[in-house]
Structure 1
Amino acid sequence: MNKYDWLASESAPEGYPMKILYGTFLYPGEEEKGLYIPNLKLIYSGWGEPISTHVVGPDKKPLPDRIDITFYSYAEDQFYHGRFDLPYERIVQRFSEGYESNIEDQGKLGFRKITAGVAPGGHVAVWIIGPAKREEVLFEQAEPIEYDWEKFWRLSFGSGDIVPREEYRIDSLKASEAEIALEQAQNGTLPLDKWKRLRNQYPWEPRFYRLPEPSDRATIKYVNGEQYHLRPPYNTEEATAVQPMPKYLSFRAGSDLFLMHFDEDEMLEAFEAMADGDKRLYLDIAPYVPRTETQVRLRDEDDNIHTLEKFHVEELRKYD
């Protein structure tokens, strides 16, 4: 069995805090042995964004073929557990082959991290991660379970007085800037299917206007937690070219760098409203300086338009 140099990490959606109680990437042929997933931390940094890096054990170790994970969703006040098979052969192949760097003449880079993501509704995702690259290799749904509150508290905090469950939960939601999730929980409107919907792929491509179209590769992060690079030309019109919705896009228009952050809820609403089978969608981007003047819209083949308003373009200092 080949061994590779890799580390484990964890992830959770922004605005929906979670906590992993126990988690292990299990080695082939082992029932318990594997690399543990960092745990017992309140996590909410963004779907697919790795948080912790614990350097433990030998540098080189087997790649996992299963994941076992127990976690708590603060928004729902619900514990979950899941044990899932990973696509072992695919993971081995990707670690063995690596991928082309987005930097010209840099050659191939390698995957160095495997990250487990947990989200409301019991959703579990796993990504393999390298420099400027994230690929989803698993998406499953764990089962809700009962879990003793005192056991949870002692595991999380050790000794000391146990804070009542509802008081701790609400304080944690407020402390992690999850007021929207708290309001949704109180109103019974938590979007528990959201992370499944974020995985949908659509036949879309970016189109650039006003400033020169980027001539270099653009970095794109998707709402499903993946990260890739787009290579020009962007208007390929390939009928089979489908991809998830964008969460972040960085590119250069002429000499100006643009770092664009999209609102995933607005993006989800726009794509679901305008998608029509295999018909192409175009994300029209009109970058401008000052960057606050940048405009973005989603357009279909019939020139129906959904203007996006909740995106943000970072303002950069002149020497950037």
Structure 2
Amino acid sequence: MNRTHLRKIFLIAGAITGFGFLFYLCLGDGVAFETQGLWASFANLFGILILFSQFILHFIVLLIICGRGKKGTELTLKQNWIIGIYCLIAVIFNIVLILKTTTFSRAEMSVEREWRNSEKYYWEPAISNPEGYPVRVLEGRFFISSWSRNNAFPDIDDKFYDSRWGLGMTTFISQDQGSMVMPDSLRLTWYSVVEDCYYKLQVSLDKEKITQLFKKGFEAKNHNGVFHRTYDEIIVGLAPGGDVALWVGSNWGNATEVSFYQAQKLDTIVIEPARRQEVREELTRLRKGKDWVEQVHTTDDLIPYDKWRKKYRQPYGWTLQFVKDGVLDNPELEVEFFNGEKFTLIDSTLSQKNFPAQAVPASLFLKCRGEDGKMKREYVVFDEENIYNTFEKLTLSKQEIKVIVTCKINKQGKIEQVTAQNNREEFPLILKKD
């Protein structure tokens, strides 16, 4: 065999083999071959050995194409064309083979890369329900398109929930799991106790809005002073009629609504008999407890289905201002709204706060330091019927009319009176001390 031909064959076979290996490396760290029936490490090693063993095949084929040849004899034009076509076929075959046998790992790596580039926060899923309207979650999970091998999908505990609107009962997520990307979708099935029926929700979430809310965060305060904090809960509110609210929330007195959804009512037979029996037995035990609260409705007192979707979320333009008998030391006021949102006013002077379009306030929680240095707490709840009637009277159902809510605080840090007024009349609001 002509040495020149042998050298050329060796270089071409090596170039084809080297291209295959370099193409495999260019796919990125984490890409691996998948071979059925072999452990991952052996499968990947086996795939790499196949890549390198191609050299022998290419060398033999090229040797056959070139023939024996004589010293000083050049390859014919036909032989060069055949070698070129063979090289092209070999390169294409290498690309197809590598892509086909690394599909799963490349998909995983793509998701992993997206996860690394996404903003991540520590958060826990939570369930909320209106007081007296308990629910039993049968299945619940937040789905995240970009995930890490170290992260699991956040599941929602399948149990009974008996809370109040906007207050989430969380499912524990270990800090060891680390921060998570915001969820893309939610799937949830639950039993509504008062309605005695089942609902299912499968919906895409506004991931961008949730991410921006977490990123923006809010100001919080502790004994060391004011600091920036972000949300740590994604709360799902389950109301009668399949109405579903989604909030981002925190134990630091802030919660913001993200969106509102409508779930699908399920035929009872869709639920497995064993699960239905499990729910009934568990409910029977809970109803015997002294702390169990469940609304009872009759034909004359129907469930107010639209209350959580429409009434509670109706926005008004209003301002919260304060009249103080003295200077309050280190005051902080948490405002809770009927739509489940919360806002904490951190202001040493408790100056007024404007709410251009916000739900009606449900309660006020004032904290300040007394003369003895101890923290004093004052919590008042508004009478729902009274405050809604007052807002309707003052606005005449017109959104452009502003309402001024005035909170009168005495020297001891007690809320003595709260009034609501427009530019013509003023009404005292009924307060329920808790």
Cα displacement string for residues 135-161 of structure 1 (whole angstroms, at most 9, x for unaligned residues): 111211212121239736636738xxx
* Other-structure match for 1:154: 275
**Residues 327 and 411 in structure 2, CA contact (< 8 A), matched pair in contact too:** no
1:172–1:278 distance in 2 versus 1, CA, 3 Å? farther
Paired residue secondary structure (1:259): strand
Cα displacement string for residues 64-116 of structure 1 (whole angstroms, at most 9, x for unaligned residues): 01111112222222221122221111222232343222458432112222111
1:63–1:254 distance in 2 versus 1, CA, 3 Å? closer
Residues in 1 aligned to 2:425 and 2:241: alpha-carbon distance in whole angstroms:
36
* Other-structure match for 2:259: 138
CA RMSD of aligned residues (A): 3.5
Range moving further from structure 2, 284-293 or 86-95: 284-293
Residues in 1 aligned to 2:167 and 2:361: alpha-carbon distance in whole angstroms:
15
Residues in 2 aligned to 1:295 and 1:278: alpha-carbon distance in whole angstroms:
26
1:168–1:116 distance in 2 versus 1, CA, 3 Å? same
Match among 9, 14, 18 for residue 126 of structure 2: 9
Residues in 1 aligned to 2:403 and 2:289: alpha-carbon distance in whole angstroms:
37
User: How many residue pairs were aligned?
Assistant: 299
The amino acid across from 1:198 in the alignment is Y
* Other-structure match for 1:108: 228
* Other-structure match for 1:191: 304
Paired residue secondary structure (1:271): helix
* Other-structure match for 2:401: 279
1:7–1:45 distance in 2 versus 1, CA, 3 Å? same
**Residue 154 of structure 2 is aligned to residue 35 of structure 1:** yes
User: Could you tell me how far 1:175 is from its partner in structure 2?
Assistant: 6.5
Residue correspondence of structure 1 range 58-97 to structure 2 within 5 A = 58-97=177-216
Larger Rg: 2
Scaled by the length of structure 2, what TM-score is found? Answer: 0.59
The amino acid across from 1:303 in the alignment is E
User: Could you tell me how far 1:213 is from its partner in structure 2?
Assistant: 7.5
**Residue 316 of structure 2 is aligned to residue 202 of structure 1:** yes
User: Could you tell me how far 1:124 is from its partner in structure 2?
Assistant: 0.7
1:213–1:116 distance in 2 versus 1, CA, 3 Å? farther
Residues in 2 aligned to 1:290 and 1:254: alpha-carbon distance in whole angstroms:
9
* Other-structure match for 1:318: none
Residues in 2 aligned to 1:146 and 1:285: alpha-carbon distance in whole angstroms:
49
The amino acid across from 2:125 in the alignment is A
Paired residue secondary structure (1:35): coil
Residues in 1 aligned to 2:128 and 2:196: alpha-carbon distance in whole angstroms:
18
- Structure with larger RCO (C-alpha < 8 A, sep 6+): 1
* Other-structure match for 2:423: 301
Match among 137, 149, 155 for residue 20 of structure 1: 137
Residues in 1 aligned to 2:414 and 2:298: alpha-carbon distance in whole angstroms:
34
Range moving further from structure 2, 295-304 or 18-27: 295-304
* Other-structure match for 2:92: none
The amino acid across from 1:141 in the alignment is Q
The amino acid across from 2:156 in the alignment is I
User: Could you tell me how far 1:12 is from its partner in structure 2?
Assistant: 0.8
Cα displacement string for residues 22-48 of structure 1 (whole angstroms, at most 9, x for unaligned residues): 111111279xx831122221x231111
1:213–1:141 distance in 2 versus 1, CA, 3 Å? farther
User: Could you tell me how far 1:51 is from its partner in structure 2?
Assistant: 1.3
The amino acid across from 2:325 in the alignment is L
Q: Higher helix fraction: Structure 1 or Structure 2?
A: 2
User: Could you tell me how far 1:119 is from its partner in structure 2?
Assistant: 0.7
The amino acid across from 1:122 in the alignment is G
